Amino acid sequence: MKRLAIALGLFFFALSARAEPVAIKVGVLRQEHSRETLSILDIPAADDALAGALLGAIDNNTTGKFTGQAFDVVDEKIAGANDARAALDRLTAAGVALIIADLSADALLAASDNLKETALLFNISAPDEALREEDCRANIIHVAPSRAMLADGLAQYLVWKKWPRWLMIKGSHPEDDLLAQAYRRAARKFGARIVEERIYEDLGAGRRSDSGHMQTQRQMPAFTQNAPAHDVLLAVDENDVFGGYLPYRTWEPRPVAGSAGLFPTNWDPGHEQWGAQQLQNRFRQNYRRGMNARDNAAWLAMRMIGEAATRTRSGAPDKLRDFMRSAEFSIAAFKGVRLSLRGWSQQLRQPILLSDGRMTVSVSPQEGFLHQVTELDTLGLDQPETKCRLK
Amino acid sequence: MQVEMKKIALALALLSLDGASPVFAYRAYVSNEKGNSITVIDTDRLEVIETVKVGRRPRGIALTKDGSELFICAGDDDAIQTLDAKTLTVTGKLPSGPDPELLTLSPDGGTIYVSNENDNLVTLIDVKRREQIGDIPVGVEPEGMAISPDGGMLVNTSETTNMAHLIDTKTKEIVANILVDSRPRFAEFKKDGSELWVSSEVGGTISVIDPKKRELKQKITFEIPGMSREAIQPIGVSITKDGKRAFVALGPANRVAVIDAETKKVEKYLLVGQRVWHLAFTPDEKYLLTANGVSNDVSVIDVAALKAIKSIPVGAFPWGVVVAPQ
């Protein structure tokens, strides 16, 4: 029996609570997000992203009671990208080697460069492809989906729905160019067509006013007039400048998708399937608000750390990273399937939720989009096309 | 085994002499998660007898030993309802914690153990007195519940902690925590108490635990040609009384795996309805019933032939299934 067990490569576990828990410190390095949102409902809370990490630590600590591990959160909120360096130094000085990062791509890369060799960053918000491709780093794990993953998730659904003609309305920010690229690529990949691209210039207008809808109601129909035949308006507006103004105000009665209307995301406060209700309940009970996409990514990063720490019985970043990259690693995240890491770019494989902001409309990958390894890899850039060489 | 088979054959022969009277007729109860109802099936005729309206979001169900009463976890009503098996009417409720999902009864029928997902507790309820008699703190999102045949060991699985907590029912304390794969959903003892099987929905495996040594003995994995690893999600587990064969529901893979419970080899995959969730044998182990959530039906598997022989339409999103003598 013993020999059989060894031959089968099994391992035995008998965990019991120890008197002295091993402390695992996890930093949350987060930037201020714009309060200039189109909808008042989207103004970020003071504990944006942090709350997710805190809940993840509570969950990990319940498990930690049995495994003798204790997880602490060290919060560092920075005003601008320039403060990241000092905050990183403070975290390092406090003995933090695992850092959940809510940073822009540039700030994240700078942090990666300034990091001690043994430390690990968990990217929970920057969607940039370059971070997973030509600029990829061995000390960054990407929990947030990339723009290509989000665009592919939406594109699969629109194609499944037989709405292949898209009128793209694009913002004027550099991020919008990158997002537009992701949608153009998704259209080619799945057989959709962008019938025309229009640019909505950000003239720096404020979002709040006492009677704003009056102008919007007149502007948006005119802006979307005289377009070629299309099935959907595709809003490409990562900075929340105009996307939310499109639904119900288009020249022709067409649904809006992308940055408004039906949007692809890693999480939404309205998602409740596959037991997600339990997580939403826990979050609301503790923080008195809904769990947004950044909160969820922070929670998930913390859970990935917890899961890897439980299995490896270690808090050492290199051990955790090795385990997360291995075939044994999987994490449950209330999205119906196991999530795992793409070894070549350290991007978390995950389904993409399609939400209308009230509930989950669908979840991609859609049925029929096949892949030789896992359907999850129909979303985003796949291994054969990767430019990432981890270093 | 052969002797037993002969005995059964003889009994069946005698039965057929008896004409149409269904001596071996059983009754299956199926909880319909979205239908807010329990479907009652005559397993002799394999037909629906009645559909009973119950509380909101009924999932876990369990019968008293004599089959006279059904306990129903009505999660959205934060209650465990009681259903009289004779009259098929809801007679009352037990004081559970919030959002009860699964429950198990002690072998003597005196205590119900319930997993309450929202507060990381296993709640103990005295059946006679209809009151809570204690709580046991466990991991995050407790789910699967099983009790050893001798009643001495209670097992709870926690979905986010990914452990099987082994609890001494006398002291009501955890004696061991065994790490299993992601999102453990269900636990089942062999009838002789020699093994404990725990299914991991997201991990895609069955962990076989030695309850005496309190350690993981073996893991069972599944492979279905043309199906990705993510789609294979083990949920319900049923093991024959002789401990020789096990059936595992594989969720969205729409199949039930047939396993040689001694060698742990997967022998066969039986195609059933969509999103197959929980399973139950008829007491004679002639049939295995499967609750298929997405296709709103129950598949009937002929256990000897290892074939799905019938699909019985039930309510919306069938989840749990139990069978009792009529």
Q: For helices A276-287 and A50-67, what crossing angle results, to 10°?
A: 110
Q: What is the pLDDT of residue A14?
A: 41
Whether residue B254 lies within 8 A of chain A, CB to CB, comes out as no
Length of chain A equals 391
Q: How far apart, in whole angstroms, are the C-alpha atoms of residue B35 and residue B30? A: 11
- Residue-wise pLDDT tens digits, B151-194: 999 999 999 999 999 999 999 999 999 999 999 999 999 999 99
Q: Which of B144, B202, B234 lies closest to A329, judged by CA?
A: B202
Q: What percent of chain A has pLDDT over 90?
A: 86
B63, B40 Cβ separation under 8 angstroms: no
Q: Cα(A238)–Cα(A181) distance, rounded to whole angstroms?
A: 13
The pLDDT of residue B9 is above 70: no
Q: Is the pLDDT of residue B21 over 60?
A: no
Least confident among A36-45, A186-195, B57-66, B94-103 = B94-103
Report the chain A residue with the minimal C-alpha distance to residue B175.
Answer: A16
Q: Which tokens hold the place of B279?
A: 């399973």
Summarised one tens digit per residue, pLDDT across range A331-353 is 999 999 999 999 999 999 999 99
Cβ atoms < 10 Å from Cβ of B311 = 17
Does residue A226 belong to the interface with chain B, where contact is any CB pair within 8 Å?
no
Beta carbons of A275 and B159 less than 8 Å apart: yes
Residues in chain B: 326
pLDDT surpassing 60 at residue A6: no
Is pLDDT at B305 greater than 90 in this prediction?
yes
Give mean pLDDT, residues B10-32. Answer: 64
User: What's the token pair of residue B253?
Assistant: 């893979």
Determine, for residues A303 and B160 on separate chains, whether the beta-carbon distance falls below 8 Å: yes
* pLDDT confidence bin for B5, thresholds 50/70/90: low
Is A326 within 8 Å of chain B by CB?
no
Residues A332, B11: Cα–Cα separation, whole Å: 48
The minimal CB distance from B204 to the residues A66, A281, A338 is found for A338
With a CB cutoff of 8 Å and minimum separation 6, the contacts of A247 are A255, A256, A260, A261
Name the closest residue on chain A to residue B228, using Cα atoms: A374
- How far apart are alpha carbons B243 and B220 in whole angstroms? 16
DSSP A203-255: ----S--SSTHHHHHHHHHHHT-SPPP-SEEEEE-TT-SSGGG-TT-SSS---
pLDDT category at A8 given cuts 50, 70, 90 is: very low
Average pLDDT (B36-56) is 96
| pLDDT tens-place string over residues A105-162 | 999 999 999 997 789 999 999 999 999 999 999 999 999 999 999 999 999 999 999 9
Structure confidence at residue B97 (pLDDT)? 76
Lowest mean pLDDT among A142-151, A305-314, B96-105, B265-274: B96-105
Contact criterion met (CB below 8 Å) for B155 and B166: yes
Query: Quick check: A182 pLDDT over 90?
Result: yes
Q: What is the mean pLDDT of chain A?
A: 92
Give me the mean pLDDT over the A25-48 stretch.
94
Using alpha carbons, select from B307, B310, B249 the residue that is nearest to residue B274.
B249
C-alpha count within 13 angstroms, C-beta hemisphere, residue A136: 20
Q: Please report the number of interchain residue pairs, chain A to chain B, with beta-carbon separation below 8 angstroms.
A: 93
The A residues from 66 to 105 touching B (CB cutoff 8 Å) are 66-67
Residue A113 or A210, more confident: A113
Strand order in the sheet with B215-221: B184-189, B196-200, B205-210, B215-221
Distance (Å, whole) CA A119 – CA B246: 46
Smallest Cα distance from A192 to chain B, Å = 26
Q: Residues near B272 by Cβ (< 8 Å), separated by ≥ 6?
A: B249, B254, B255, B256, B290, B292, B299, B301, B308
Tell me: pLDDT of A17 over 90. Answer: no
**Predicted local distance difference test score (pLDDT) of residue B265:** 98
Label residue B27 by pLDDT band (50, 70, 90). Answer: very high
pLDDT higher for B22 or A373?
A: A373
pLDDT digits (tens, 9 = 90+) for B70-89: 999 998 898 899 999 999 99
This prediction has a pTM of 0.89
A307, A141 contact by CB (below 8 A):
no
CA–CA gap between residue A110 and residue A214 (Å, rounded): 44
Q: How confident is the model at residue A70 (pLDDT cuts 50, 70, 90)?
A: very high
Task: Say which of B118, B202, B203 has its CB closest to residue A281.
Answer: B118
pLDDT score, position A18: 47
pLDDT of residue A46: 96
Map out the domains of chain A with their CATH numbers. Answer: 2-145+268-350 (3.40.50.2300), 148-265 (3.40.50.2300)
Q: Is the dihedral of CA B80, B86, B89, B91 positive or negative?
A: negative
- Phi, psi at residue B219, to the nearest 5°? -120, 140
Residues 252-291 of A with CB under 8 A from B: 275, 278, 281-282
For A107, the token pair is: 């700030």
Residue B22 has pLDDT above 70, yes or no: no
Interface test with B, best of A59, A63, A285 (most B CBs within 10 A): A63
DSSP conformation class of B203: T
